[in-house]
């Protein structure tokens, strides 16, 4: 079947009339089963895969040599690794938010974007999980942070937020994986049924867990999906709150702030939705999914971006206000240094990216312009990374004793690990779109039903 020309006049998230159950299934499953690999995908995957391999190589070198290959030092003992960790985990928020929260809020339009958003979450959270391990001085002992009954009767130190982190992130990863996999089951069955080769039938069949589409299956499925959604909703708030405690529990000026949990959650959604846009826009373009990921989807994402952007901006303002309101010399100096010190260009850039640029979304025209949204989403991604970096590094580089002040300058290995992780993310995502349905087939079918109902009435 030929991809349909994009219909820019379509302003609703509803499916156009020409989509039937069959054509929907054909369209989405063909992306996985029939479509031949084309040059753009091959080139993109080749590049991303190479970068991923470089990342792995750099990790091996890191394990062999030590974190001294990075620019971290005393006082700035945390650098890119922690910034990257917080950034990726933030990106990993939008998927669950879209899948779970919007499901509970009965936002039906989420159906066409939740699958890849969840995949994004999974990959981002997975990559985020790598960084704290890379960050360790002795990464081969990372499991000491996990409570397990060892012969010496040693347990983690429960007052440390890093231990809470382990729980928060691993729970989040597990629930996200379950949620994503559960959503996939009916579609895996579809793929199984449509696959021509024996091996594909076997593999998809294996993961479809014997799904036959019985009413009983569907009834239990819906219930279970809703339950996990409920569970995941709490995690959307908890994960980044706990991550923020890594900082808020610390006494470093610039870390030590009760504002951090909500501020981090807002920032996470903000960066997550930006990444959704960064992914959705090329995806719908290259795979001609304009009818599924419509301009309305993009516009809704843009609105959330605008809203969370303001929450984040409020966070910035509150941070600065509280520092001066506290009258604490160290806090005041920290804010002063952030605005005028060595890292101030980054601070002002992040304000431009995260506060100024998103204001363009007040205009409906901008919200509905694919190009504007794509560029803006890149700005926000950059801005949020800078925010993490500024929090992590600029707070540390000048704390209490001026004698111990220092500066962090990233080395080439810092950059390789950062860019490498992006390469890994892209490579994984490119694999995902070719191996699994990037858009939920069964939920699209539901929408065919609903759209026809709507048209009838």
Partner 1 sequence: MTTPLSLPADFDKPDSLQRRHLLKLMAASIALGAAGCSGPSPEKILPYVHSPEYAVPGEAIFYATALQLGSYARGVLVKNVDGRPIKVEGNPLHPASFGGTDIFAQARILDLWDPTRSQSIIHNTQPSSYASIQDALNVQLKSLEEAHGAGLRILTRTICSPVMANQLHEILNRYPQARWHQYDPLHDDHTFDATQRLFGKSLQPLFHFDVAERIVTFDADFLQGGPASVRYARDFSMLRNPDHGTMSRVFAIESTPGLIGAAADERIALTPFEIELLIRRLAKRFDVLGEINAAADSSATHITGFESKLVSELTQYRGKCVLVPGSRLSVDAHALVHELNIKLAATDHCLQFIEPVEARAENHINSLSSLCTDMATGKVNTLLILDGNPVYDAPSDFNFAQCLKAVPFSLHLAMYRNETSMRCNWHIPQTHEFEHWSDLRAFDGTTSIVQPLLAPLYNGCSPHRLLSWLLPPSLESAYDIVRQFYQHNYTESDFEHHWKTSLHNGMIAGSAAAPVNVTSLLNTSHKYSTLKINPSNNLTLIFSADDSVRDGEYANNAWLQELPRPLSKLTWDNAAIMNPLSAANLHVDTGQLIEITTAHGSIIAPVWIQPGHAEHCVTLHLGYGRTAGVNIATTIGFNAYTLRRSDDMWNTGIISIKHVEGIHVFANTQEHARMIGRDLVRSATFAEFLKTPKFATAKPEQRVPDESLYKDYPYDGYRWAMTINLNACIGCNACTIACQAENNIPSVGKQQVQLGREMHWIRVDRYYTGDEKTLRTDFQPVPCMHCERAPCEEVCPVGATVHDSEGINVQVYNRCVGTRFCSNNCPYKVRRFNFLQYANNSVESIKALQNPDVTVRQRGVMEKCNYCLQRITRARIEADRLGRRIHDGEVVTACQAACPTSAISFGDLNDPQAQLHQSKSSPRNYSLLAELNTRPRTTYLARVINSMTTPLQPGDSS
Residue ranges that bind partner 1, judged by CB under 8 A:
65-69, 71-78, 132, 135-139, 141-142, 144-145, 154-157, 159-163, 166, 246, 249-252, 255, 329, 333, 396, 398-407
Residue nearer to partner 1 on the CB measure, 9 or 251: 251
Phi-psi region of 382 (alpha: psi -120 to 50; beta: other; left: phi over 0): alpha
Neighbours of 77 (CB within 10 A): 14
Q: Widest CA span of the chain, in angstroms?
A: 75
- As a whole number of Å, the CA-based R_g of the chain is 23
Task: Compute the least distance from the CB of residue 66 to partner 1, in Å.
Answer: 5
Residue nearer to partner 1 on the CB measure, 6 or 139: 139
CB 416, CB 61: distance < 8 Å: no
| Tokens (6 digits) for 302 | 């843009």
Task: Compute the least distance from the CB of residue 17 to partner 1, in Å.
Answer: 57
Instruction: Tell which residue, 128, 131, 130, 165, has the closest CA to residue 145.
Output: 165
Residue nearer to partner 1 on the CB measure, 374 or 405: 405
Task: Compute the least distance from the CB of residue 420 to partner 1, in Å.
Answer: 20
Task: Compute the least distance from the CB of residue 411 to partner 1, in Å.
Answer: 9
Helix axes 260-286, 295-326, angle to 10 degrees: 160
Task: Compute the least distance from the CB of residue 130 to partner 1, in Å.
Answer: 15
Residue nearer to partner 1 on the CB measure, 193 or 328: 328
Task: Compute the least distance from the CB of residue 141 to partner 1, in Å.
Answer: 5
CA-to-CA dists, residue 321 to 96, 324, 337, 358, angstroms:
32, 5, 15, 22
Task: Compute the least distance from the CB of residue 324 to partner 1, in Å.
Answer: 16
* Surface-to-core class of residue 10, CB atoms within 10 Å of its CB (0-12 exposed, 13-18 middle, 19+ buried): middle
Contacts of 122 (CB under 8 A, 6+ apart): 92, 95, 173, 176, 177, 180
DSSP type of residue 67: G
Residue nearer to partner 1 on the CB measure, 5 or 327: 327
Residue nearer to partner 1 on the CB measure, 5 or 137: 137
Contacts of 352 (CB under 8 A, 6+ apart): 383
Residue nearer to partner 1 on the CB measure, 351 or 396: 396
CA-to-CA dists, residue 331 to 311, 328, 352, 395, angstroms:
22, 5, 23, 10
Residue nearer to partner 1 on the CB measure, 71 or 383: 71
Task: Compute the least distance from the CB of residue 60 to partner 1, in Å.
Answer: 16
């Amino acid at each position: 079947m030929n991809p349909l020309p994009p219909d820019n006049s379509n302003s609703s998230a509803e499916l156009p009339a020409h989509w039937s159950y069959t054509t929907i299934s054909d369209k989405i499953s063909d992306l996985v089963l029939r479509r031949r690999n084309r040059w753009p995908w091959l080139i993109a995957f080749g590049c991303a895969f190479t970068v991923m391999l470089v990342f792995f190589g750099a990790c091996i070198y890191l394990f062999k040599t030590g974190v001294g290959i990075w620019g971290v030092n005393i006082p700035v003992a945390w650098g890119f690794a922690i910034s990257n960790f917080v950034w990726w985990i933030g990106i990993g928020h939008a998927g669950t938010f879209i899948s779970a929260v919007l499901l509970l809020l009965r936002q039906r339009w989420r159906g066409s974007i939740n699958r890849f958003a969840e995949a994004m979450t999974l990959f981002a959270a997975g990559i985020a999980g790598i960084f704290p391990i890379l960050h360790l001085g002795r990464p081969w002992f990372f499991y000491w942070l996990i409570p397990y009954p060892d012969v010496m009767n040693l347990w983690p130190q429960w007052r440390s937020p890093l231990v809470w982190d382990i729980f928060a992130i691993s729970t989040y990863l597990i629930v996200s994986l379950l949620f994503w996999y559960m959503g996939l089951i009916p579609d895996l069955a579809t793929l199984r049924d449509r696959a021509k080769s024996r091996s594909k039938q076997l593999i998809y069949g294996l993961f479809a867990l014997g799904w036959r589409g019985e009413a009983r299956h569907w009834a239990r499925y819906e219930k279970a999906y809703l339950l996990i959604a409920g569970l995941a909703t709490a995690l959307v708030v908890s994960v980044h709150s706990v991550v923020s405690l890594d900082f808020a529990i610390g006494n470093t000026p610039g870390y030590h702030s009760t504002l951090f949990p909500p501020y981090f959650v807002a920032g996470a959604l903000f960066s997550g939705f930006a990444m959704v846009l960064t992914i959705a826009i090329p995806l719908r373009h290259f795979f001609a999914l304009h009818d599924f990921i419509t301009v309305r989807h993009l516009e809704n994402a843009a609105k959330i971006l605008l809203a969370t952007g303001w929450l984040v901006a409020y966070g910035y303002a509150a941070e600065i206000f509280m520092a001066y309101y506290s009258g604490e010399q160290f806090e005041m100096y920290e804010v002063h240094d952030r605005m005028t010190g060595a890292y101030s260009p980054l601070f002002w850039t992040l304000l431009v990216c995260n506060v100024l640029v998103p204001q363009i979304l007040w205009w409906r025209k901008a919200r509905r312009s694919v190009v504007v949204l794509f560029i803006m989403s890149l700005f926000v991604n950059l801005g949020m990374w800078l925010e993490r970096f500024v929090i992590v590094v600029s707070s540390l580089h000048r704390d209490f004793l001026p004698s111990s002040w220092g500066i962090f300058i990233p080395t080439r290995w810092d950059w390789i690990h950062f860019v490498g992780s992006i390469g890994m993310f892209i490579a994984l995502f490119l694999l995902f779109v070719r191996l699994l349905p990037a858009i939920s087939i069964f939920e699209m079918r539901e929408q065919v039903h609903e759209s026809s109902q709507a048209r009838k009435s």
